[in-house]
Each structure stands twice: as structure tokens, then as C-alpha cells.
Amino acid sequence: MDIKITVREVAGIIKGEVDGDPEAVLNGFSKIEGATAGTITFLSNPAYEQFLYSTGATAVIVAKDFKPSSKVATTLIRVENPYASVAVLLEKFSPRQHPQPGVHAMSVISETAVCGKDLSAGAFTYVGKNTKIGNNVVLYPQVFIGDNCEIGNDTVLYPGVKVMASCKVGSFCTIHSGCVIGSDGFGFAPTDTANYRKVPQTGNVIIEDYVEIGANTTIDRATLGSTTIRRGVKLDNLIQIAHNVEIGANTVIAAQSGVSGSTKVGENCMIGGQVGIVGHITIADGVKIAAQSGIASSIEEKESIIQGSPAFDIGKYRRSYAAFKNLSDLLSRVNELEKKVNSDVKTEKKK
Amino acid sequence: MDIKITVREVAGIIKGEVDGDPEAVLNGFSKIEGATAGTITFLSNPAYEQFLYSTGATAVIVAKDFKPSSKVATTLIRVENPYASVAVLLEKFSPRQHPQPGVHAMSVISETAVCGKDLSAGAFTYVGKNTKIGNNVVLYPQVFIGDNCEIGNDTVLYPGVKVMASCKVGSFCTIHSGCVIGSDGFGFAPTDTANYRKVPQTGNVIIEDYVEIGANTTIDRATLGSTTIRRGVKLDNLIQIAHNVEIGANTVIAAQSGVSGSTKVGENCMIGGQVGIVGHITIADGVKIAAQSGIASSIEEKESIIQGSPAFDIGKYRRSYAAFKNLSDLLSRVNELEKKVNSDVKTEKKK
Amino acid sequence: MDIKITVREVAGIIKGEVDGDPEAVLNGFSKIEGATAGTITFLSNPAYEQFLYSTGATAVIVAKDFKPSSKVATTLIRVENPYASVAVLLEKFSPRQHPQPGVHAMSVISETAVCGKDLSAGAFTYVGKNTKIGNNVVLYPQVFIGDNCEIGNDTVLYPGVKVMASCKVGSFCTIHSGCVIGSDGFGFAPTDTANYRKVPQTGNVIIEDYVEIGANTTIDRATLGSTTIRRGVKLDNLIQIAHNVEIGANTVIAAQSGVSGSTKVGENCMIGGQVGIVGHITIADGVKIAAQSGIASSIEEKESIIQGSPAFDIGKYRRSYAAFKNLSDLLSRVNELEKKVNSDVKTEKKK
């Protein structure tokens, strides 16, 4: 945001109410801790409220119903959803500058590939045979797209993304660097001689529209049929999606989680980081899974919130874990009880 | 499988017995759920038996001794090992189409590299000095092979694979996209001044024949000597193999697991996903480790099956975990017992 | 070490005392197990002491105060810090051979990039607009550096490293293959319609001097401001560092760990493999975290050593876990106690 704009104008864009000086001039964004005069910042996570009372920012976007617990020197802009408002402003004033349309001389686009208008294809990028690419697609340098693929309109593939043969990526998708789409699923049939025969992975990966996939994440192609990432899914970095998995629409998965083969994850789920999910199960819609949990069987109840490895109800897990923290004490207490009770019993018997 | 073939012919290929119509014509593979007429599918995992009774498939490959629990409308082909039979058929009718032999004009093959016959080297692929490449090797686009490497016959390196200097890859290996072979081991010696001195990693990685390695997996070179992946090993995606590790023949490791430095894993082990194994230990042959387990000391008993972090016998782990799920109840019961026993004791004393 | 050197000369280099034959001639390094005559090895980890008594090595570097528990046939060189001495020797006799300076004809260096002296830029490497590169920098083949980046002196980027736009890498850094610096942070604001609006990630990543980063590790750019990796940090392979994280100087993190958004990790911490740390917390200086732990809240006590998910004091964790291993026994004992106590109580009541 390298411009001059008043608090009033910003409030207009994000439909906010100004609580302070509407004529104050803003020239950039900042983080609430350590912000300087002339900047605008936001308060969304309550853990940061402490910084509101000392921030140097000229304006702070807060929730409509936010009640300061102390005196605030800065101007507040009150909105429904502060985080979404920041997204709106950053999108408007700090949009990502992608490479301009044009095909670099040191790229390879197969003659049988069909490309839409305004393609940007960077240096050392490769597009295979019979592949179809939509309009306004950005292929950064060093991208690989195999034969018979499809890439939808307005999709961006960052450097080093690999989309293997026959895979499909929808429109308005963003795939970050080093991501691999369509590597072989991990399928090996044991043989009589203690080694394995590879099961050819003949399917593909289908990624629907508005999906974002993080850096170095891997999504394996199906053995038969498709591994499917539904519309609006957001996958973080270093995630593993195995063959024949389906991730339901608008589900969000944090970094380093893995979903094993043929599992079907519902819509609108929220899955924490480093979660592992076994194969061949179903996760209901709206399920929330705490970080580092392991899911060993189907979760049938929608909206359940679970933790543990294997995971169960999060409240129950936390009570169990609280008791676990003092488990050696509990053991001592039971030892003590046994001594008492057995001596009582002996006393009884003697009597 | 874009051909027409009868059930009888398929049964001949996989040495199966036909239970139904041997003259039915097949034109493709399908998954058992949602299969359509004219296709062949298979039943290997019992969890999918439910779909057998309603599948639209014309034929289903099942185990020799499989007994349907309900009426089956489709033709069955009974074999020793259904999953291996599927591998045989897919290999025959849906083989992977790799790029044709030929060296792309926009690749770099060092003059001192020695390449076998029928090399396929894709665009933007780099092969270093004095590197030896066998016959029928496929290097997809954007592969990197450093100086003084060796790549065996019939090996396939997918796009973006990096084989660093002096590493050796055997014959009939498959290495998936983004995999890094021969990055430096993580070796730093603490110094007096609270920082670290890098220990040069002067060894290499040796990958024997018939190894398959998943996308974005990393295998570090040894400090001295070799990190070794024995014949027939299968590694899934996003696995970390540290310096000086040895993975025994035909061992299979699922995604996102990590093996720390100098650890020796036995032959024919099966290691689940997201498992962590500490350094400088030994895992016996045939050990099975449940997903998300942590191995903190050597496993000396062959064929043991373990779980937990740190891991112990899986049966015992499961009993402990079952009790853990109700641990806050157990705590309440002990609280209650203490009250009773102490009041009893008081009563005793009073008496 | 392809040279001839005496034990006396080696001892001079590493300031060691010779305990044996100073005139013995050495021609290479070896591992202590299976070493051959003429080589030098070291003993640093006590687990390997058993090999000292049968090693074929001509000389072994040991700690100053090491006392053999049995007869030693080889010559010992006694030093303060054996592992650091090995680093010194390997650095001197087996230095990494990087590519020579020179810009490959099939690389792309933007005209507005400013490069220092003796740059090595390999084939298929891309350097963006207005990027500044220091002296003696080595860019292996297939590196990507975006627009407006800075790379310090004497830094090495291995094949396939991607440094996205506006990120800064210090001097004397080593970044291994496939590492992604500056991918977008994982920021999405929920909207009213059950999907997400991307929060633009407008910040960058700053990596200070003397940092080493492992293969396929990912470091996301900040939403606003910078994700910061301080001087001397060592990150292993496949690590995830989220947006706006700060990792303190000389902190070491093992493979496959992840740090969530806006968390600040202190200096001189040691973090094991597969650790997960939630967002928006602070870890004090010198904290040690055991492998596979999960950190759910700030760690305020310096030098604390913790384990578990969520983690707490490591000694307490281990006592709890020891009790957990016998938890089903404990349950049975409590069942038994209840029977006894309740029958006692009944007996009491009857009396």
C-alpha cells in the first residue's frame, strides 16, 4: 500500500464504522506490535489485544462488538470480520505481481498443447503433449506439466511445480513451489518371494476450482479412477495425499498432515498440522481434528472435534491427558491404597 | 485397458478359475464401488466386500477361497492373490508411457558423462561430469544428476529429481518427482562460542536395485561411507532418511516417516506413516511399526509389532490406550477409594 | 583425504596429544566399525566405544579424558572435542567441490540483477529482476531466485532451491536442494458462504548469516513484515516454518518439525524431529524439545527440557509414560481394590 488514503476511505471499502479520526491519512500496513504512525493494522486474534493499547498505528481494524479493556489512543475501524477486511485491503493495495504474459524462449511448450490467451510461461518450463491450458494462466519458471493435462483459467503454478501426465487442475487455483501433483500412489503387492510387485497407478488427480496447495505438498494419482481435491480446499505445505483419496469442498488442512489411500474426507473439515489419517475410512463433514492426532477409524458424527492418536472426543482427551500428567502419582496412590486395604483385610481376617 | 478381451483370456493370464460367464467381454478396469458393465475390478481388502453384491462390473477378481456372504450377480475370477493379479493385468494393459529415447536439445549432458543405449533425457535435465548412466534410462525433464554418479539400467527419474554428486542408484529403480538423493547429512559440532561448526558430509548415498522412492522424499549422504538403501526397498512420499542410515532389503516405509542418523533398519520391515526413529539404533528384520510411533531404542526381537511414542508391544499399547481413554474416570475412582479407605482406617482406629 | 600424513601432523592440526605411534602414516578417513589400516576415525558417541577395541583404524580421535575400559591396539589422538576435530580435518582434506565460477549459457540472469564477483550460476538457473547477489555465490543448476531478492556473499544454493520474490538470504548460508523460501503463508479468512478468502501474503523471509537449511524444507513469507531466521540457525530436511515465525540465533531443529504462524522460538534451542509447535506463542532461549512433542503454549522457562503432546517436563513425562505402559494393570488393580473396599464396607455395615 504505497499510497495515501484516509481512514474514511478505508472504512468505505471494508464497510466499517470509524471510532476516532476519519481524516487521518494512511500510507501502509503494519503488524500491531511495533507499528509506526501512518500505518493501519488489525486485531483479530485476542492474544494480541495487549498490543492495541500501545500500538503506534494510526488506525486499527477491530470487530464490530470489540470492547477495549483500557484506553485506546488510535482510531478504530469496526467491521464484521477484521481478518477478512484485511484480506480485502491487501488484495486491493498489495496485489501479487505475477510475471507478465509471454512465453519465454527457453521454455518448451509441446506443439500439440492448446494454450488460452495471455499465458505466462517462464524460463525452463515444460508443457507436455495434448495438454490444455486456460486463459490468464501463470506458469512461473521451472514448472513441469506432463502430457494430456488440463489447467483451468486464472490458475497460478509457482516455480518447480510438477503436474504429472493426465492430471487436471481447475480454475483460480494456486499451487506453490515444489508441489507434486500426480506422483504414483504407493501400491505394491507382496509376492511369494518376500519382495513386492508394483501395482501400476493408472488413474489421475483432479483438482477442482479455487483450490490452494502449499509448497512441497505431494498428491498421488489414483490406482484406478481419480484422487480428488474438491472446490475451495486449502492445503498447507508438506502435506501427503495418497492415491484415491477425496478431500471434500472447503476443507482446510494444516502443514505436514497426511491422508492415506482411498480415505474420503468430508466438506468444511478443519484438520490441524501433523495429523495422520489411515486409509479406507470416511471423515464426516465439518469435523475438526487437533494437531498431531491420528485417525484410525471412520468419524461418522458431523462437526465432531477430536484429538489423540488414535483420536477421540477432544474434551475427554484433554481430561485423560490432564490425568496422564500425574500418572506416576496416581500409581503411587494406588500402591498406597493396596497396602492399606490389604493390611485392613489382614486385620479383618485376624479379627 | 483399451482393448476387448474375454473373462476366459484374463483368467488365463492371471491363472484364475472362472466362476460365472467365461465369454463375457471386458474393455477396462474400474473400482468396485461405482463400476460399470464391461469392466473388471477386484476385491482384496475385506472392507470393500459390501460393494461386491451391487457392483456393476462384469467380472471381479477375488481370492481363491473367498466365500460370498450373499448372492453375487457378477462373474468371479478366483486367484491366489487378487492384488498381485491386478498388478499383472495393469502392467500388461495400462503400462506407463514414458518419454521416448532421445536427448533434448535443451538438456545438458556433460561431455565426460558415459550414457548407455536408448537414454531419454528431457528438457532442462542436467547430467554432471564423469557420471555413468546405464541402458534404457529415463530422465524426465528438469532432473539433476551431479558429478561422478552412477545410474543403473532401466531406472526412471521423474521430473525434478536431484541426485547429488557421487551417489549411486541401481537398476530398475523408480524415483518420483522432487526427491533429493545425497543432500548433506545434518552434522554440526557445538563450539565454545555457542554456535556450530559444520561437519563436512563426505560420503554418498547408495541405492540398490528395484528400489522405489516417493515424491519429495529426502535421503542424506553419509558423513563418512554411505547411506544405503538395500534392494527392493519401497519408500513413500516425504520421508526423511538421515546420514549413514541403512534400510534393509524389501523394507517398506509409509509417507512422512523419518529415520535418524546411523540407524540400521532390518529387512522386510513394515513401517507406518509419520513414524520417527532415533539415531544410532538397530531394528530387527521383519519388525512392524504402527503409524505415528516413535522408536527410541533398538528393537532386537524379529517380527515384533509395536506402537506408541516411545513404542512397545502393540497389544499392550492398545490395552494401555483403552485405559487412557477413561483415565479421568480412573482418577475419580481412586479419589473415591481413598476417601472410603481413609474413612475406614479412621473407623478402624476409632474402634 | 587422498594424501599421506602422519599421526603427528594430524595431531598438530587439531591440537591433540598422541597416545601411541606418532609416525604412523594415514591416508584416509573411516567409520570406527569396519575401519581398515591406514585410516583415521573418531569416537564421540559412547555407544560406539565397543568398536574401539577391535577397530582396524591406525588412529582414533578421542576425548582428552577418555579412559578405555579394555586394551586398545590403535594409536589415540586426544582432543577437547573429537567431533569438532573431525569437522576441522574433513574441511581441510575433503572440502566440497562446488562448480567453478561462471554463468552457464542456458541460465537466465535478469539484466537488472546485480551480481558480485566469481558467481557460479548453473544451467537452467533463473535470477529475477533487481536481485542483488554477493561475491563467491554458488547457484547450482535449476535454482530459482525471484525479483528483488538479496543473496549474501559466499552462500551456496543447491539444485532446485527456490527463493521467491523479495526474500533475503545472508552470507555464508547453505540451502539444500528443493528448499522453498518465501512461499505464501497459509492465511485464509472464513467468509459467510462457508468458503475462504485468501489473505494476501505481502511480507517476505529474511535469513541471516551462517544459516543452513535442509532439503525440501519450506519457509513461508510473512503476511506483513518478515518471517525471520536468525544468524547461525540450522534447519534439517522437510521442516515447515510458517508465516511471521522468528527462529532465534543458533537454534537447531531436526527433520520434519513444524512451527506455526507468528511463533517466536528463542536462541540456542534444540528441537527434535517431528515436533509441532502451535502458532502465536513464545519459546524461551535454550529450551530443548524431545522428538515428536507438541507444544501448545508458550515455554517461559529458559533451558527447560520437555516432552509429550502437549509437552511438559521431560522427567515427569517419562514417569507418566512408564506408568502408562502398565495402565491396564493399574486399571485391574483399581477394579480389584474397589471390590475389596466395597465388600469391606459391606462387611463393616453388616457388623
| C348: pLDDT strictly greater than 70 | no
**Nine cell digits for residue A256:** 505436514
Mean pLDDT of C337-343: 87
Residue C243 annotated among the catalytic residues of the structure: yes
Cα–Cα–Cα angle for A318, A322, A324, nearest 5°? 110
| B1: pLDDT strictly greater than 60 | no
**Can you tell me the distance from the alpha carbon of A76 to that of B71, in angstroms, rounded to the nearest whole number?**
70
| C350: pLDDT strictly greater than 80 | no
Mean pLDDT of chain B: 95
| C1: pLDDT strictly greater than 70 | no
Mean pLDDT of A131-141: 98
**Can you tell me the distance from the alpha carbon of B124 to that of C312, in angstroms, rounded to the nearest whole number?**
50
- pLDDT score, position B130: 98
Sheet holding C39-42, edge to edge: C17-19, C75-79, C59-63, C39-42, C28-29
Mean pLDDT of B98-121: 98
State ipTM.
0.95
Pairing mode, if any, of strands C196-198 and C188-190? antiparallel
Mean pLDDT of C152-171: 98
**Can you tell me the distance from the alpha carbon of C84 to that of B82, in angstroms, rounded to the nearest whole number?**
55
CA closest to C340 among chain A residues: A341
* Among A143, A166, A177, A195, the residue to mutate for chain B (most B Cβ within 10 A): A195
- pLDDT score, position A258: 98
> Amino acid letter at A144?
F
Q: Where are the beta strands (DSSP E) in C208-310?
A: 212-213, 218-220, 226-229, 234-235, 240-241, 246-247, 252-253, 258-259, 264-265, 270-271, 276-277, 282-283, 288-289, 294-295, 305-308
Within 8 A of A124 by CB-CB distance, chain B residues are: 123-124, 142
Residue B103: exposure state from Cβ atoms within 10 A (0-12, 13-18, ≥19): middle
| C44: pLDDT strictly greater than 80 | yes
**Closest to C204 measured CA to CA, from C294, C302, C131, C119:** C131
| C90: pLDDT strictly greater than 70 | yes
**Can you tell me the distance from the alpha carbon of B253 to that of B271, in angstroms, rounded to the nearest whole number?**
5
- pLDDT score, position A2: 61
Within 8 A of B196 by CB-CB distance, chain C residues are: 232, 234, 250, 252
Q: Furthest-apart CA pair in chain A: how many Å? A: 101
Mean pLDDT of B131-160: 98
**Contact check, Cβ <8 Å, C215/B183:** yes
Give backbone dihedrals phi and psi of A237, rounded to 5 degrees, phi first: -75, 155
| C351: pLDDT strictly greater than 60 | no
Going by pLDDT thresholds of 50, 70 and 90, the confidence category of residue C349 is: low
Cα A192 to chain centroid distance, Å, stands at 42
Which range is least confidently modeled, B87-91, B157-161, C302-306? B87-91
Within 8 A of C268 by CB-CB distance, chain B residues are: 194
**Can you tell me the distance from the alpha carbon of C159 to that of C178, in angstroms, rounded to the nearest whole number?**
7
Residue C36 near residue C30, CB atoms below 8 Å: yes
Could you tell me what percent of chain B has a pLDDT over 90?
Answer: 90
**Beta bridge pairs of residue C207:** C169, C229
- pLDDT score, position C277: 98
Could you tell me what percent of chain B has a pLDDT over 70?
Answer: 97
**Nine cell digits for residue C80:** 577437547
- pLDDT score, position B192: 77
- pLDDT score, position B349: 60
Going by pLDDT thresholds of 50, 70 and 90, the confidence category of residue C192 is: confident
- pLDDT score, position C344: 65
Could you tell me what percent of chain A has a pLDDT over 90?
Answer: 90
List pLDDT tens digits, range A303-343. Answer: 999 999 999 999 999 999 999 999 999 999 999 999 988 88
C326 CA to chain A: closest CA distance, Å?
10
Question: How many CB atoms are located within 10 Å of the residue A111 CB?
Answer: 6
Residue C298: exposure state from Cβ atoms within 10 A (0-12, 13-18, ≥19): middle
Three-state secondary-structure class, residue C258: strand
**Interface contacts (B, C; CB < 8 Å):** 196
| C157: pLDDT strictly greater than 90 | yes
* Among A107, A157, A173, A331, the residue to mutate for chain C (most C Cβ within 10 A): A331
| A176: pLDDT strictly greater than 60 | yes
Mean pLDDT of B59-83: 94
Mean pLDDT of C204-208: 98
Residue C153: exposure state from Cβ atoms within 10 A (0-12, 13-18, ≥19): middle
List pLDDT tens digits, range B249-282. Answer: 999 999 999 999 999 999 999 999 999 999 999 9
Residue B242 near residue B259, CB atoms below 8 Å: yes
Mean pLDDT of A197-210: 96
- pLDDT score, position C166: 98
Q: Which residue has the higher pLDDT, C194 or A288?
A: A288
**Interface contacts (A, B; CB < 8 Å):** 196
Query: Can you say whether residue C194 is alpha, beta or left, with left for phi > 0 and alpha for psi between -120 and 50 degrees?
Result: left
**Contact check, Cβ <8 Å, A200/B91:** yes
Mean pLDDT of B302-323: 97
**Contact check, Cβ <8 Å, B330/C325:** no
- pLDDT score, position B95: 84
**Contact check, Cβ <8 Å, B141/A144:** yes
**Can you tell me the distance from the alpha carbon of C145 to that of C207, in angstroms, rounded to the nearest whole number?**
14
* Among B259, B309, B317, the residue to mutate for chain C (most C Cβ within 10 A): B309
**Beta bridge pairs of residue C19:** C76
Mean pLDDT of C297-318: 97
Cα–Cα–Cα angle for C7, C13, C17, nearest 5°? 55
- pLDDT score, position B50: 93
Residue position matching grid coordinates 460365472:
B20
**Beta bridge pairs of residue A39:** A28
- pLDDT score, position B122: 98
- pLDDT score, position C341: 87
Mean pLDDT of B157-185: 98
List pLDDT tens digits, range C98-124. Answer: 999 999 999 999 999 999 999 999 999
State how far the alpha carbon of A22 is from the alpha carbons of A9, A41, A72, C90, C149, in Å: 8, 15, 15, 65, 37
- pLDDT score, position A95: 84
List pLDDT tens digits, range A34-45. Answer: 899 999 999 999
Q: Which of A104, A176, A243, A280 is catalytic?
A: A243
Mean pLDDT of C59-67: 96
B208 CA to chain C: closest CA distance, Å?
21
**Can you tell me the distance from the alpha carbon of B184 to that of A20, in angstroms, rounded to the nearest whole number?**
56
Residue position matching grid coordinates 525440501:
C216
List pLDDT tens digits, range B122-134. Answer: 999 999 999 999 9
List pLDDT tens digits, range B40-59. Answer: 999 999 989 999 999 999 99
**Contact check, Cβ <8 Å, C234/B186:** yes
| B2: pLDDT strictly greater than 80 | no
A81 CA to chain B: closest CA distance, Å?
36
Question: How many CB atoms are located within 10 Å of the residue C237 CB?
Answer: 33
